[in-house]
Amino acid sequence: MAATYKDIQKMTGLSLSTISKYFNGGNVRPDNAEAIKRAASELDYRVNSFAQSLRTQKSKTVGVLLPDLTNTFHAQIISGVSLDLMHAGYGVIVGSFGESEESMDDAVEFLLSKMVDGLVVVPTAAGRLPVALQSASNGHPPVVVLDRTPSDDVDSVTVDNERAGLDVGRLLLAHGHRSIGILAGPQGLSSTSQRAAGVLSAFSEVGADVPDANVVHTALSVEQARQAAHGLLTRTDRPTSIFATNSELTVGAAIAIRELQLELPGDLSMVGFDNVDFARALPPGLDIVVQPVPEIAHAAAELLLARMEHAQDGQVAHRVLQCSMMRGASVGAPPLAVRSVR
Amino acid sequence: MAATYKDIQKMTGLSLSTISKYFNGGNVRPDNAEAIKRAASELDYRVNSFAQSLRTQKSKTVGVLLPDLTNTFHAQIISGVSLDLMHAGYGVIVGSFGESEESMDDAVEFLLSKMVDGLVVVPTAAGRLPVALQSASNGHPPVVVLDRTPSDDVDSVTVDNERAGLDVGRLLLAHGHRSIGILAGPQGLSSTSQRAAGVLSAFSEVGADVPDANVVHTALSVEQARQAAHGLLTRTDRPTSIFATNSELTVGAAIAIRELQLELPGDLSMVGFDNVDFARALPPGLDIVVQPVPEIAHAAAELLLARMEHAQDGQVAHRVLQCSMMRGASVGAPPLAVRSVR
DNA sequence: CTGTTAGCGCCTTCAT
DNA sequence: ATGAAGGCGCTAACAG
């Protein structure tokens, strides 16, 4: 059995309230403090956080919820958020659902039943908030939404995706490209859609038409992206450039390119997203858009801490950060003639 | 305020114990059940898991602890473990520490104070179990250790690392290589050390000597691996092959190879570890060792569930699974003459 | 099948 | 500075 105050009481003869005060930083006579300390370590005492939270109605814990632990980008972010939060004295419990709305709801229920003091959520691609969190005034704990923006009335941290897309488009245009294929992720996913939209508006600025067929929607999986890229790149009117709008899509596109033995940037120019290490390893060095991961994590932690410690008042905050480009060597002039593959 | 049984009691007039029985699947008269159900949904009732766990001394929750959420291999495993565990009715809370022993201990304390019913742990590279878990008989919840084996008296799931290394060595030898550089991870990390040892014994089987200087120890970071690989590959007596013993080290090596503009397998043969998508994307297709991730996850979940549901009896279990090779095209004959770089 | 009661471990007035 | 008492929300006897 785990030790409790009562056990310490037996060893020290002190009252429960004194022991409690000791553990909560109150004033206790030095000799008593010493006695409690000794007893505690002797008994391997550990506070029972259930009892504590039941009593105080606070868990000093925040929940982090994301679609997929396997996504390196999300993993990096929550890794940063966790650090900040732990630093502020909060425990962090991470849960994942599988891009399925139903299990997202279950996961939220689970966290709420743990009475988390706050929640960081990356919603499903479909862009719906968990039902339990939908009514802002329903007394649920504060929530910060990351990466994807399902609704206006909840705090969020996102990046300027449209702008990032615009930059990508302009880069490719500057190199002379007038055709592009875009791996645009799932229909309705705000982040990837906005990135694609940015490219499209850059192209339309110069009157370069991008046919609908060049914007391919898939789930956020490497394999689906590979297939989509394969389809795009084996067309006779293959685009001279390709843009992958997130990390999985980037990897999938790279696989297709390797399988088709296309050379970057000789046969094709490519711009990817997010995956710095991958971009550095892939010959000839991949041009990618990089999100400011540490800043995103920081902003999220900051927003949430503010809500948890001060009252639930104040305006809804939408922090929007800027991406940057990490240049590689995968963007060059379009080929004079499209070399056929397969 | 969150609703409690009392609120339901006020609405239905039923007693607390009837309400409790309803929520715990006991026999309740249909009309009463209906009334409770209505009241609960009306009040948006959610069980307070603190009170519940305080009372039952069970949290129906297991903790998963790993060094780094960012490690894709670990992320994949715990993703699988979580699924199995949730399926069995357990909640999962994931915590990470940063390869630091101290924060590992803190994280364990945190999880224990949450009274988790079981623990899945990937220990620090140094191979030490969290202090709180060291005395097997200390009444702590059951623990399953993954990937790294710090101790014999706790259940574990690992792969046959030495055998994997042996296979890699033999593959390279069969292609005619007699020299190899090994990125062997941190000193004392069981997994990567065993993989390196396997290669060494394969080479010694045929009397090929591998100088100590060719076995390079670094932390498990992409950047450190890149630097180490760079050093190895710019030596005048550069080895004709290189083996990276885990996923980060694989990516780091690939970056160095790209930077030095070495061609795989013309200038150098390479075998990596774990990262399937990466291996498929990297030209010309990377030969890697693949761990049976789903099986590892399954075995871990199974072992832990058995310990949690049945008594703490029985022998300590060490499940050892076999890896397989995923062939790419990065292993070929050694170059006739070593082309100098830089 | 339902109600009454006691208590899980802790914190928090309120006295002393 | 310390002690006594009550209760957070829930479950598990036990009675009815």
Looking at residue B233, what is its pLDDT? Answer: 97
Of A79, A96, A258, the CB nearest to B283: A258
User: pTM of the prediction?
Assistant: 0.90
Band the pLDDT of A61: cuts 50, 70, 90: confident
For residues B210 and B184, is the Cβ–Cβ distance under 8 A?
no
For residues B199 and B180, is the Cβ–Cβ distance under 8 A?
yes
Band the pLDDT of A191: cuts 50, 70, 90: very high
Of B48, B79, B278, the CB nearest to A69: B79
Residues 278-297 of A with CB under 8 A from B: 278, 280-285
Protein-covered nucleotides of chain D (CB closer than 7 Å) are 1-14
Specify the CATH superfamily of domain A161-291.
Answer: Response regulator (3.40.50.2300)
The DSSP output letter for B167 is H
State whether A258 and B285 contact (CB < 8 Å). yes
Task: Give the residue range(s) of CATH 3.40.50.2300 domains in chain B.
Answer: 59-159+292-322, 161-291
Tokens coding A195: 């990135």
State whether B109 and A46 contact (CB < 8 Å). yes
Q: Which of A189, A199, A144 is nearest to A169 (CA)?
A: A199
Q: Can you give the distance from the CA of residue A123 to the C1' of nucleotide D6 in angstroms?
A: 43
Among A112-116, A142-146, A274-278, the range with the most confident prediction by mean pLDDT is: A274-278
Q: Is A163 exposed, middle or buried (0-12, 13-18, 19+ CB in 10 A)?
A: middle
Phi-psi region of B209 (alpha: psi -120 to 50; beta: other; left: phi over 0): beta
Q: Please name the nucleotide lying closest to A31, CA to C1'.
A: D1
State whether B1 and A76 contact (CB < 8 Å). no
Residues 68-107 of B with CB under 8 A from A: 68-70, 72, 75-76, 78-79, 82-83, 91-96
State whether A76 and B82 contact (CB < 8 Å). no
How does pLDDT run across A279-298, given as a tens digit for each residue? 999 999 999 999 999 999 99
Q: What's the half-sphere exposure (Cβ side, CA atoms, 13 Å) at B195?
A: 35
Residue A219 pLDDT > 90: yes
Strand D-proximal protein residues, Cβ less than 7 Å: A 13-18, 21, 26-29, 32, 51, 54-55, 57; B 1-2, 4-6, 16-17, 19-20, 23-24, 47-48, 51-52, 54-56
Check whether the bond before B284 is cis (ω within 30° of 0). yes
Three-state SS string over chain A comes to CCCCHHHHHHHHCCCHHHHHHHHCCCCCCHHHHHHHHHHHHHHCCCCCHHHHHHHHCCCCEEEEEECCCCCHHHHHHHHHHHHHHHHCCCEEEEEECCCCHHHHHHHHHHHHHCCCCEEEECCCCCCCCCHHHCCCCCCCCCEEEECCCCCCCCEEEEECHHHHHHHHHHHHHHCCCCCCEEECCCCCCHHHHHHHHHHHHHHHHCCCCCCHHHEECCCCCHHHHHHHHHHHHCCCCCCCEEEECCHHHHHHHHHHHHHCCCCCCCCCEEEEECCHHHHHHCCCCCEEEECCHHHHHHHHHHHHHHHHHCCCCCCCCEEEECCEEECCCCCCCCCCCCCCCC
Return the higher-pLDDT residue of A128 and B234.
B234
Looking at residue A113, what is its pLDDT? Answer: 75
Q: How far is CA B10 from CA A274, B16, B19, B199, B270, in A?
A: 54, 10, 11, 71, 71
Ranges of H-type helices in B61-189? 72-87, 101-113, 161-174
Q: What's the half-sphere exposure (Cβ side, CA atoms, 13 Å) at B173?
A: 19
pLDDT tens across the length of chain B (342 residues): 678 998 888 888 888 889 898 888 778 888 888 888 888 888 888 888 889 988 888 888 898 888 888 888 988 998 899 888 888 888 888 887 776 777 788 788 778 777 788 999 988 877 777 777 776 555 678 899 999 876 778 899 999 999 999 999 999 999 999 999 999 999 989 999 999 999 999 999 999 999 999 999 999 999 999 999 999 999 999 999 999 999 999 999 999 999 999 999 999 999 999 999 999 999 999 999 999 999 999 999 999 999 888 766 678 899 999 999 999 999 999 998 766 665
Residues 260-279 of A with CB under 8 A from B: 277-278
Q: Which of A185, A316, A297 is nearest to A250 (CA)?
A: A185
What fold characterizes domain A59-159+292-322? Rossmann fold (3.40.50)
State whether B68 and A79 contact (CB < 8 Å). yes
CA distance B50 to B57: 10
